[in-house]
């Protein structure tokens, strides 16, 4: 028999890595347009399932994927000792500017990582979201109970080695899903590639770091074609957002 449950709780914080402190973080320092979005689901104290999406220039995604594979997609230690364990990885998508990988990681040793520390204080089934760009890693933990979050954060803060700092975000009710990067069923493949390429190269920054003409040349498509793909992708994403929020904010979009 199914039952209706309360909402999950969420806890957010940010890790900042100084240049030269971590080989993975250094790749993000080297390539400012490179991004990684990762979702991990803890299935035990020493294991998790991971989805990692890499977006950015081909040279950057190649470099990062190679380093992550060398490290077996293991959790990254925030302390002085590197984590150990075993993993099995499968490539789900391998476009020049976007990679999606599934990994099952197990037999993780006792090391100072976010995953290991959280497993001490939180119940199994915790979902870890983290997005890394330019040396800053933003974390969001989805959990059934936040009773031990204070102890968890104190442990994380104490475990950080010199060159790694942690800044607390917020604690509250989880009201939405942030993993839309992995669920783009409304977009065609060409629209996803156009949107990812534009975002990775600063098209949506203010001020813009690249023109539509430059993007079209890099993708080897006519400017009008790229412009149409971006408009259609943007339109579908806006409609998805409005549909998702219309019930919680009645009248806002009328």
Per-residue burial over 236-253, b = 16 or more CB atoms within 10 Å of its CB, e = otherwise: bbeebeeeeeeeeeeeee
Does 113 share its domain with 224? no
CA–CA gap between residue 92 and residue 148 (Å, rounded): 35
What is the domain-level CATH number for residue 226?
A: 1.10.10
225 close to 191: Cβ distance less than 8 angstroms: no
| Domain C-terminal end among 118, 148, 173 | 173
CA–CA gap between residue 180 and residue 173 (Å, rounded): 19
Residue 252 within any structural domain of the chain: no
188 close to 39: Cβ distance less than 8 angstroms: no
114 close to 121: Cβ distance less than 8 angstroms: no
* Domain span holding position 58: 9-173
Q: Is the pTM of this model over 0.85?
A: no
Give pLDDT, residue 240. 61
For 164, the token pair is 């790694």
Print pLDDT tens along the chain (254 aa). Answer: 445 557 789 999 999 999 999 999 999 999 988 989 999 998 888 889 999 999 888 899 999 999 999 989 999 999 998 899 999 999 888 877 888 999 999 999 989 999 999 988 988 889 999 999 888 999 999 998 889 999 999 999 999 999 999 999 999 988 766 555 554 445 667 887 888 888 888 888 778 888 999 999 988 889 888 888 888 888 777 766 565 544 444 443 33
| Domain C-terminal end among 140, 173, 206 | 173
């Amino acid at each position: 028999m199914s039952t209706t449950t309360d909402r999950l709780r969420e806890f957010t914080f940010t890790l900042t890595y100084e240049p030269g402190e971590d080989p993975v973080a250094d790749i993000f320092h080297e390539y400012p347009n490179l991004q990684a979005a990762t979702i991990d689901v803890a299935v035990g104290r020493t294991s998790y399932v991971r989805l990692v999406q890499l977006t950015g220039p081909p040279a950057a995604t190649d470099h990062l994927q190679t380093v992550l594979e060398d490290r077996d997609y293991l959790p990254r230690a925030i302390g002085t000792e590197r984590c150990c364990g075993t993993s099995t990885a499968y490539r789900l998508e391998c476009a020049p500017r976007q990679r999606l990988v599934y990994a099952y990681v197990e037999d993780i040793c006792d090391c100072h990582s976010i995953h290991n520390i959280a497993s001490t204080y939180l119940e199994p089934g915790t979902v870890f979201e983290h997005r890394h760009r330019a040396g800053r890693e933003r974390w969001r933990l989805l959990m059934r109970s936040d009773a031990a979050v204070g102890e968890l954060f104190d442990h994380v803060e104490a475990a950080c080695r010199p060159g790694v700092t942690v800044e607390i975000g917020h604690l509250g009710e989880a009201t939405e899903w942030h993993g839309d990067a992995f669920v783009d069923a409304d977009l065609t493949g060409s629209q996803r590639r156009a949107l990812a390429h534009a975002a990775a190269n600063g098209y949506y920054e203010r001020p813009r770091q690249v023109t539509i003409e430059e993007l079209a040349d890099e993708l080897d498509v006519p400017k009008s074609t790229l412009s149409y793909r971006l408009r259609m992708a943007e339109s579908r994403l806006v409609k998805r957002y409005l549909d998702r929020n219309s019930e919680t904010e009645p009248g806002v979009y009328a």
